[in-house]
Amino acid sequence: MENENLTLATKQWNYEKAYKQAYKLACEQLAGIDDIEEQCRRSGAQYQPGDAGILIQYLNQSYLISLPGGEISLVGSAETVPIRDRILILHYFNSAKGTPMANRLITLRELPEGSGYFPTFFNRTSQPILNNFGKEPKLLLGAAEKLGGLRVDYGDAAVTINAFSRVPITIILWGGDDELAPQGNVVFDASISDYLCTEDIVVLCETITWKLIRNLKKA
């Protein structure tokens, strides 16, 4: 048991170290952007020269990215922003190309290296969604409201959540019956790779999944 606890502690330390390094690199990339106003246009964010920062929407909440340091705060709250969220916010802002929506849905497997990420994606996103919403797909609609989710006409229940201004995530569920298990899918606009890399998309979807599950348990 002691060795197991040491292994878990080592893994946790390694994760924290990796997150801190990723955040540091993202802050450095932000500081290297020459035209912040243009990058705001590309990402759908708002340049706030009076506050020396950038106002950006993430999962139906407003965040302020300070310049030039890259610190991130939740507007109107003293709550500390989790480091994974800070990394996602900066990666989105730094990477945004301003590409228009393609209005064509694709799956994770269609993204660069998506097939390699799929087992992790299924275990951390698809399976938990099915476990918690599969038997009653309509519950997904209420759980998604706090994230700004909008009902869309797919399957037995489906929502589109604008994780960022240019990154809609659509979750589709089909309820099961006595013969068929519940089915589900998470799909993206085909332009998503011009805003986030596949690894970030997997992390983002996992984040959304557990927010949905927490909202369900609070209902």
Higher pLDDT, 129 or 50: 129
For the stretch 112-127, pLDDT in tens is 999 999 999 999 999 9
Buried b (16+ CB within 10 A) or exposed e, 161-171: bbbbbbbbbbb
For the stretch 80-103, pLDDT in tens is 999 999 999 999 999 999 999 999
Give the pLDDT confidence score for residue 51 in this predicted structure: 76
For the stretch 179-189, pLDDT in tens is 788 999 999 99
For the stretch 148-197, pLDDT in tens is 999 999 999 999 999 999 999 999 999 877 778 899 999 999 999 999 99
- Beta partners for residue 160, in sequence order: 150, 170
Give the sign of the dihedral formed by CA 26, CA 27, CA 29, CA 33. Answer: positive
For the stretch 20-42, pLDDT in tens is 999 999 999 999 999 999 999 99
Take residue 177 and report the two structure tokens written for it. 């019956």
- Domain ranges in the chain are 2-95, 105-218
pLDDT higher than threshold 60 for residue 145:
yes
pLDDT higher than threshold 90 for residue 128:
yes
Give the pLDDT confidence score for residue 83 in this predicted structure: 96
- Give the integer Cα–Cα distance in Å for 14 and 8: 10
Give the class (CATH, top level) of 105-218. alpha beta
Helix (H) or strand (E) holding 106: strand 105-106
Tell me if the bond preceding 68 is cis, omega within 30° of 0: yes
Cross-sheet strand order for the sheet of 150-151: 105-106, 183-189, 167-174, 157-164, 150-151
- Give the integer Cα–Cα distance in Å for 91 and 140: 28
Give the pLDDT confidence score for residue 14 in this predicted structure: 74
Higher pLDDT, 15 or 80: 80
Give the pLDDT confidence score for residue 177 in this predicted structure: 75
Give the pLDDT confidence score for residue 159 in this predicted structure: 98
- Beta partners for residue 57, in sequence order: 62
10 CA to centre of own chain: 26
